[in-house]
Every structure is written in C-alpha cells, then in structure tokens.
Amino acid sequence: MPGFSCQEESNDKLRVMFDTNIYDLLAIEEGLTSKIVNCRKIVVYGCKPVRDELRETPAKKAVGTKSLRALLLNNYDLVIGKHNLIATELAGYLANEYLKQYNGNAPAKKIFKDFLIVAISSLKKLPVVCTNDEATMSSEEAVE
C-alpha cells in the first residue's frame, strides 16, 4: 500500500503533477486523498489530459458500491482544487519532440498523452511528476 507523510518542518511547498494512475491508488487507499488535501506542504496540479484519461474509465467499474470513475474524478477535483494547468500549443510541440526521441515499445498514442503531461509540468517548472506507470513513463526509454 502507498504511504504518505506530510513533513511540516519546511516552509517550501512541493509542487507536483500526478499521472492518471496515481488517482487509482487514491481510490484504493482509504484516507490518502484527505491526507494529501489537508497537507499544507504539497500543491497538486492537474491538467485536461489527466482528467480526460480519468473520464475514460468505464462507467460500470466499481470500487465496492461506488462508481470507480466518479471516485477518480471526485478525488482529482479534491486534490487539485483550483490548480489546473492548460495544455498549450507549446506543450503539444514539446510532447511531439519527446515522442521523436523516445525509443520504447509503448504505442505512440498512449505515450504521447504521458509526454504531454510531462511537457505541461515542465513548462510550469513543476519539479515532480508522480507516476506508478512502470511500462511507459517510468521506463528507462521514457526517462531518457
């Protein structure tokens, strides 16, 4: 299970973007969303590509008696609050450039969305993009 600790010693806020798969972890781990929301040391940003991927979750999938899609979107809205970043043309251009350099096996359509999330984060100088996607975003080919 994922752990989360909010260290209150520093005055600096950590600015992060969560990849889509992190919201899956938030849906599974009870109480984790509220810990992140209540932590004053972390600011989570969102963007349309992440929200769009969450909306692609099948409506009939459930966690217990709750709709998984509704839970994912609700957690997303709670965690990012008003911190929504725009996917600009420059971000799209950068994502295409990342794609040209990528030598992995992931389908271009899938990895482009991941690169777009990284490009949006990079343009806003977010120091962290948090992912649990070992097949694409965390792969050696993508990190290069």
CATH number at residue 53: 3.40.50.1010
Query: What's the CA gap between 133 and 122, in Å, rounded?
Result: 18
Q: What is the DSSP letter of 9?
A: S
Would 79 be classed as within a structural domain? yes
Could you tell me the pTM of the whole model? Answer: 0.82
Would 26 be classed as within a structural domain? yes
Find out whether 98 and 119 touch, Cβ atoms under 8 Å: yes
Query: What's the CA gap between 126 and 119, in Å, rounded?
Result: 10
Would 9 be classed as within a structural domain? no
Higher pLDDT, 87 or 144: 87
Is 70 exceeded by the pLDDT of residue 125? Answer: yes
Would 3 be classed as within a structural domain? no
Would 36 be classed as within a structural domain? yes
**Mean pLDDT, the chain, integer:** 86
Residue type, 52: D
- CA geometry: angle at 65 spanning 60 and 68, to 5°? 45
- Domain that includes residue 67, residue range: 14-133
Would 59 be classed as within a structural domain? yes
Exposed/middle/buried for residue 33 (C-beta within 10 Å: 0-12, 13-18, 19+): buried
Q: Give how many domains the chain has, as a whole number.
A: 1
Would 142 be classed as within a structural domain? no
Mean of pLDDT values over 70-80: 97
Find out whether 137 and 66 touch, Cβ atoms under 8 Å: no
Mean of pLDDT values over 66-72: 94
